[in-house]
Chain A
Amino acid sequence: MTEVRVGPALAPARWSAVCDYDDLPPERGTCALVEGRQIALFRTHDGSLYALANRDPFSGANVLARGIVGSRGGVPTVASPMYKQVFDLATGRCLDDPAVAVATYGVRVSGNRVQVART
C-alpha cells in the first residue's frame, strides 16, 4: 500500500457539526468550541455563514463573536466589541489595520446542521 502525504493546505477538511442553523441569530455572532479552539460564527443578512477565530488580536480577549455585524463598502464585517476595530468576515483581515488579521475557518450547512472545518 502506498501512503500519500499531503501538506496541511491540501489535507481534506474534517467537518465538525456544532449547532443547528436556526441556533445562529441573524446578523449576529455566536461562538463554538471545536477541539479546544474558539470559533466565532456569523450569519449575515443574506443567510451566508462565516467563521473567524474568536480571539480579538487587539485586546487578547475571546470576544469577536459578540461584535456588531454589518458592512463596509459592501464587504460583510464584524466590529470588535472591545476597541471597535472592524474585520472582514470573508478574509479575517482587519480593515482598520491591514497589518492584522484573524484566522478564518471553513463553515457549511449540511441538512440543518452547521459544520465547521477542522484543520
Chain B
Amino acid sequence: MTDHLVVTGHGPAAYRLVEAVRERDTENRWRITVLGEEPRPAYDRVALTSYLTEGADLAYPAHDERVTLRTGDRVAAIDRAGRTVTTEAGLTLRYDALVLATGSVPFVPPVPGAENALVYRTIEDLDAVRERVARPGRAAGVVIGGGLLGLEAARAVQGLGAETHIVEMAPWLMSRQLDEGGGAMLRRHIEALGLRVHTGAMLERVEPGAVHLAGGTVLAADVVVFSAGVRPRDELARAAGLATGPRGGVVVDDSCRTQDPHVFAIGECASVDGQVYGLVGPCFSMAEVVADRLLGGAARFTGADLSTQLKLMGVDVASFGDPDADALNVSYTDPIAGTYKRLVISDDAQTLLGGILVGDASGYPTLRAYVGASLPAPPEQILFGGTEAVGGSVPDATMICSCNNVHAGAIRSAINGEGHTDLPAVKACTRAGTGCGSCVPLVKRLLDEELTAAGVEVSRALCEHFDHSRAELFDIVRVRGITTFSRLVAEHGRGRGCDICKPVVASILASLGNGHILDGEQGGLQDTNDHFLANLQKNGTYSVVPRVPGGEITPAKLIVIGEVAREFGLYTKITGAQRIDMFGARVEQLPLIWKRLTDAGFESGHAYGKALRTVKSCVGSTWCRYGVQDSAAMAIRLELRYRGLRAPHKIKSAVSGCARECAEAQSKDFGVIATEHGWNLYLGGNGGMRPRHADLFATDLDEESLIRYIDRFLMFYVRTADRLQRTAAWIESLDGGMDYLREVIVADRLGICAELDAAMARHVEDYTDEWRATLEDPARLRRFVSFVNAPGTPDPTIAFEPERDQIKPVLLEVVTP
C-alpha cells in the first residue's frame, strides 16, 4: 500500500524535496505527484542570469518514473478535511501528505504605472526583458532595487546592450548584506563598469519611456525591471485556513509542518519563527527536513547560515556569519585595490562572528568555515594576508557548503571512510560544492590534507602511456639525452602514445633544442597547429599570424599584410596581442602566403605553438607625455630574445612605459612596468577564463638584471610545469609560491641558475625562423597539400560566404548522436 505525496509548486526547493524523498524511499512507500504552475519543469533559478548572458540550459535532470509531474497547472484550492487538492484545470487529487512549495512573487511597489514594468524571476520574465531591450533603437534600462537580485538583473540588462540605471531606496547598495563601507566600495566597482547608481532614491511613478524619482529626477527607460524583493505566495494556505507569519509565509514548526499534520511548507513560502528565507541553502535544508520526516525521521530545521558570496559583474562580494553582531569590528579599506574587508569578532577578541568582503572574496570559504570558532590568526593578518595566513585545519563541525548543509566532518568521512580520492567523487558523495560552487577550493584543500595525511600518493601520470609527470619526463629527456619519442616510450613508457603525450614530448624536445620541429620523427608528434605552423579553424582552414614584435610595424609591412590578405581572399582581424590574424587559408596556400610574408621580412609569430606569443607594449617615453622609459624598445628586445621558446603552455608578456599601465602587463605571464629608476617585474598574471593579476617579483631593476630574472623564470617554468599549466597556476602550485621562486631565481637556492642561464643562451643562439626554414626545404614542404594524389586540388568542401565585406566559413553539418 503506497501513500500519495502531492507537491504544489516545482521550483528548486520542490525539486530537491522530490529527489531527497526518492533517494531515501528505498521501499517505495511514497507515490509522488508534483503540480507546477510554470510551463516547464524546475530549473536552476540561482543561475537565472546565465540564461540571458550565456544562453545556459538551466534544466535539472528529470525525476524518476515514480514521480508524476504536471506542468502548466496549479492548485486552486485545498480541502483539508477531505485531504484533496483541486487544480485550476479541474483535476482533484487525494493526498496523504501535501507539501506547499509555492515560492514567492516579486514585490512590485504600488506606484502609478508599475503595471508597465517587468519582473525578474522566471525564464518567461527573462524572455520578456530580452525582447524589450532588443527592440531597435531602444537602449535605456532602469532596475528598481539595488539588492542582490537587483544587481543581478542590472548586470543582465546591461549585458543585453542597454544603458542601465539602478534605483535603490536604501542609502547604499545591498543594504541587507553590506554595511555602509562595503556598499560604498561595491558602488565604486559597479559605476566603473558603466552602470549608473541612484541610492536613497524614492520611486514616484513609471511612465512609458521614463521613470520619475522623488525630487524631480527623470530617467529614460525603455525597459523597467522591478527587483526589489519578493513576497511569499501564501494565498492558497490562507484560503485553506492555515496561519501565516508576520512577514507573510505559511507558519511551520521546526519539522516544516503547518498546524495541519498532513500539510508541510518549504522554501520561500514558509515562515519559520517569523522568518522567511530567500537563499537557496535554507530552502534546500527545509526540503531535506521534510523528506526525512516523510520517511519517519526526526530531522529539524534550526535556522540557516545566511552567508552569501557572489561575483557581481566581476566584483567579488561576500558576507558571512552575522556581520551585524554588536561586537568588535576590524575593518580595512584599500581604495587602490578596490577592496573592503571587515571582520566581526567577539568582545574577548577570540571568536569570529561574521564579516564582509568586497573586491576580493578569496578568503570567504575559509573564513566562513571559522564562524563561531576561534580565530585562526590575528585579525590584521587575515585582513592583509588573505587566506594563506589562515593555516591549520578547520574543525569537523564547521560548515563547508552552506548550499547543501555539508560540514567538514562529512567531507572527511567521505574521504577516509568511503575512500573517495578525487574531487568529483567527493562532490558526488557529499554534494558539497554542487550548489553555488564557492566552497570547491576549500573542499579541494580538505581532500588534499586528508590524502596527504593518509599517505595516499596522488597520481601524476601524464596519460596511459607514461607514469611520469611532464616535469619528470623533461628531466629524463634532458639527463639521458633522449632525442626521439620512440626511444622515450620504449624505455620509459608503453604503447605508441596519444594526442596528450606526443605534443608534450614534442614540446620538451623543442625546448631542449633538437632542430626543426617538423624534421624526422618530431614532425609526427606535433598537434595539427604545429604540424602546419598555422592555427586550425572550425572549417578545416588555418589562420596565419606573422610576428610583429612589440606591436610596432612599418607602413610598408602593413601594406604587405593587406595585399597578401586581399590576394588570397583571407578574413583579417586585429588580435588582442597587437598583431594581425588572417583567416581562411587552405593548407596548400600556407607556403605561398608565407613566401610573400618572409620575402617582406616577416617571421613566424608562433601563434600556433605553446610558445612565447607576443610582448605587447605601449608607445613609451619616445612619444608619450607620461612615459618614463622606452617600453616599445624593451618589448621588442624581449620578444626577439624569447621568440620561438617552446613551453608547457603559451606565454604572453607586455611592457608598460609608466605606472598608468596601458599595456596591461599585470595580466601577463611576465609583465614589465617602467619606473623612474628602472623596471618593475611582475610574474604569473593571466587573462582568459581564470583571470589573475601578476605578482610583483622585483622592483627598479636595470635592463640586465631584468633580462636575467626573466631568463631564469622562463627556463625554470619550461622545465618544471605540468602540461598545459600556465605560469599563474604553476606559481600557485609551487610550495612557497612567489617567495620560493624568488629564492630560486635571485638567491640561487637550488644552484641551477648557471644551468638555466646557459639553456636560455643556447635558445637565443639557436633560434631560426621556422617558416623560413620550412620554405627552404622541399621535404618539409611536402605535407602542405590537401590530397596526396592531387596536390593542386583544394578541399572542395571548404566554402565561404560574405559577411561585413569579408569572408566567413559556410556552416558544416555535424552529427548529433
What residues of chain A have their CB less than 8 Å away from a CB belonging to chain B? 18-19, 23-28, 30-34, 36, 38, 41, 44-45, 55, 57-63, 66-74, 76-77, 79, 81-82, 84, 86, 97, 99-100
Contact = CB atoms under 8 A, between A and B. Distances in A.
Given A38-B797, A59-B812, A61-B812, 8 more contacts: A30-B788, A32-B788, A34-B789, A57-B815, A67-B528, A68-B502, A72-B495, A74-B495
Interface of B: 464-465, 486, 495-499, 501-503, 521, 523-525, 527-528, 531-532, 536, 538-540, 783, 786-790, 793, 795-797, 812-815, 817
B808 to A, nearest CB: 15
Contact of B527 (A44, A58, A68, A99): A68
A79 B540 contact: no
Contact of B498 (A31, A45, A86, A97): A86
Nearest to B496: A71
Contact of A68 (B498, B793, B815): B498
Nearest to B787: A33
A70 B496 contact: yes
A77 B815 CA distance: 20
Contacts of B786: 31, 33
Contacts of A45: 486, 496
B503 A19 contact: no
25 contacts: A18-B788, A19-B788, A24-B788, A26-B524, A27-B524, A30-B788, A31-B786, A33-B787, A34-B789, A38-B787, A41-B788, A45-B496, A58-B815, A59-B814, A60-B814, A61-B812, A62-B540, A63-B528, A63-B540, A68-B502, A72-B464, A76-B496, A79-B498, A81-B528, A86-B498
A27 B520 CA distance: 11
A19 B782 CA distance: 13
Given A66-B531, A100-B815, A72 B498 contact: yes
A73 B496 CA distance: 10
Nearest to A99: B817
A70 B815 contact: no
B815 A33 contact: no
B180 to A, nearest CB: 50
B148 to A, nearest CB: 37
Nearest to B813: A60
Contacts, number: 111
B499 A70 contact: yes
A62 B809 CA distance: 14
B788 A25 contact: no
Contacts of B495: 70-72, 74
Which residue, A38, A70, A84, has most C-beta atoms of chain B within 10 A? A70
A104 to B, nearest CB: 16
Contacts of A19: 788-789
A8 B539 CA distance: 32
A19 B527 CA distance: 24
A44 B499 contact: no
A39 B603 CA distance: 34
A105 B497 CA distance: 24
A63 B786 CA distance: 10
Contacts of B503: 68
A30 B587 CA distance: 12
A61 B538 contact: yes
Contacts of B793: 33
Contacts of B812: 59-61
A77 B498 contact: yes
A16 B625 CA distance: 70
Contact of B536 (A23, A38, A60, A81): A81
B789 A38 contact: no
A61 B524 contact: no
Given A19-B788, A58-B815, A97-B817, A70 B498 contact: yes
B538 A79 contact: no
Q: What are the 5 closest A-B residue pairs judged by CB atoms, nearest first?
A: A60-B812, A61-B540, A79-B499, A81-B528, A99-B817
Nearest to A20: B788
A71 B498 contact: yes
B23 to A, nearest CB: 29
A85 to B, nearest CB: 10
A12 B426 CA distance: 57
Contacts of B531: 66
B651 to A, nearest CB: 23
A96 to B, nearest CB: 11
Contacts of A31: 786-788
Contacts of B795: 38, 62
A19 B788 CA distance: 7
A61 B787 contact: no
A73 B498 CA distance: 11
A62 B795 CA distance: 8
A102 B516 CA distance: 34
A24 to B, nearest CB: 8
Contact of A82 (B536, B788, B796): B536
Contacts of A97: 817
A33 B789 contact: yes
